[in-house]
Chains A and B, each alone.
Chain A
Amino acid sequence: MALADVDLEVPYGATVAVLGPNGSGKSTLFASAVGLLRPIAGSIGVGERGVAWLPQHLDLSPALPLTVSDVVQMGRWRKGRWLRRLGREDRRRVEEALEALSIADLADRQLTELSGGQRQRALLAQVMAQDAGLVLLDEPLSGVDHPTAEVIAGLIARWREQGRAVMVATHDLHSAAHDYDLVLALNGRAVAFGEPAAVCTEPVMRDTFSGHLARLDGEDIVDTSHHHHGAG
């Protein structure tokens, strides 16, 4: 079993850092939230405002021709509207997302031709266009350039202000302790869930990262597990 004993409620308008080593169940939790995996026991529910998910890796088919604009427009495709033409509101949301991620000039470029950072921005614009109440970002900062990382931080703050719930899977203990309202520590189960001050303690982190902790400068402890390759 990839994940057990998780019991939590995430309120709208809160940001949650989901901390844990590779294989701790972060992606499993997100996959369950969108209904891709069904829990063997228990239940998982997402509010009526829907869920948007930025997966960690995208296996892009090089044979699927899609422009950045196509990708962002797909954010407006949703249940019950599979046949409807995109309307004015949809186009406004798409424009807004392209502007917010500063990729309006890339709108007609093929997704497969973009750099890693540009591609991540296009996918984030799609997430933004979805206008969902719950946003799941799986390691959004892995492999992106510094400006893109800043844009992502800005987006998370903006979504929080707009009253969305944002859950971010991350390895960054420092960021989890300082930049989020709540922290969920996972290690195959929920080790702890609550405010950073209560969760980001050395005993909890030891429990969460077991053998993968290193101490830097006698102050910060960091997760070293992500230096090994493996499923998140």
Chain B
Amino acid sequence: MEAVAVLGPLIEPFEAEFMRTGAAAAVIVGVLCGSIGVLVVIRGMALLADSFAHGVLPGVAIAVLLTTANADPSQVAVLAGGLAGGLVTAAGTALIRRRSGLSDDTAAAVMFVFMLALGVVLISRVSNFAVDLTAFLFGDVLAVDAGELPLTAALAALVLGAFALLYRPIVLTTFDRRRAAAAGLPVDRVELATMILLAFAVVIGFRVVGALLVLGLLIAPPAAAAMLTRRLPTMIAVSAAIAAASGPLGLLVSWHFDVAAGASIVLVAVGISIALIAVRPRGRLG
């Protein structure tokens, strides 16, 4: 009985089905973002990840506009729209940079602010439907339908599988694109593939923690993992584990303190990261 008394606050919240479904979705997204996030950190793509996250908004809004007749928007359309939005943002950023000669961060900022504003405008247009801006920006992990889980899991598995297949080409290209080219790699295509993997992670992740906070799951767990290990494969595994654990832990925080779920998940992930950066137990895991 004592065990139950201690564990009660940890277990009871998950007796509700929406909490179990939400936790499952958060774990899937955590593993995905925690793994792909390592690429963001080692390649220094945080700004690009952020612009993808903003870029999904108009894509999702258009998908909702097109598929919402009377019923709920189609999840497949939302994913496709989000992905298209992310890729348009990436392409637009590259185009602005090339034509203007402005720096990477300026070009990315111009593009993602545009996409964010466009998204908000479009969403305000469709707000009479079953969509609201808060859910877009901050996620709605507790509203995830159990029926969505298989699709989310399948997509996450697909992205992680592609990452595993491309692991060496991506690491080699990150190490030095000239060296990668000498090894016979089409480096431009490898870099494009890296961006597409990132876009997928953002689109799959934004449903759970929202477009504004998905960056937290992409950056904080790898940063925390980097404090624990100096080996890349271990770093990916540790990062995925931290991000996955942040899901249920964040939901517990959300339940007991009656605060927003998605933001709680990100707070836990960032909290772990900050704690480890403060302690710096570097290299403990080898």
Contact = CB atoms under 8 A, between A and B. Distances in A.
A binds B: yes
A130 B182 CA distance: 10
A110 B283 CA distance: 11
A36 B178 contact: yes
Contact of A74 (B43, B165, B171, B184): B171
Interface in A57-82: 58-61, 63-67, 70-71, 74, 77-79, 82
B229 interface: yes
Given A66-B232, A79-B185, A61 B165 contact: no
A52 B180 CA distance: 10
B178 A63 contact: no
Nearest to B223: A63
Nearest to A55: B178
A74 B41 contact: no
Contact of B176 (A52, A58, A67, A83): A58
B235 interface: yes
A53 interface: yes
Given A34-B181, A70-B232, A63 B176 contact: no
B245 to A, nearest CB: 22
A35 interface: yes
A139 to B, nearest CB: 13
B176 to A, nearest CB: 6
Given A36-B178, A55-B178, 4 more contacts: A55-B179, A63-B41, A78-B183, A83-B165
27 contacts: A31-B178, A31-B181, A34-B182, A36-B178, A50-B184, A53-B178, A53-B181, A55-B179, A61-B44, A63-B42, A64-B42, A64-B174, A64-B175, A65-B226, A65-B229, A65-B230, A65-B231, A66-B175, A66-B232, A67-B230, A70-B232, A71-B175, A74-B175, A74-B179, A78-B183, A82-B168, A130-B182
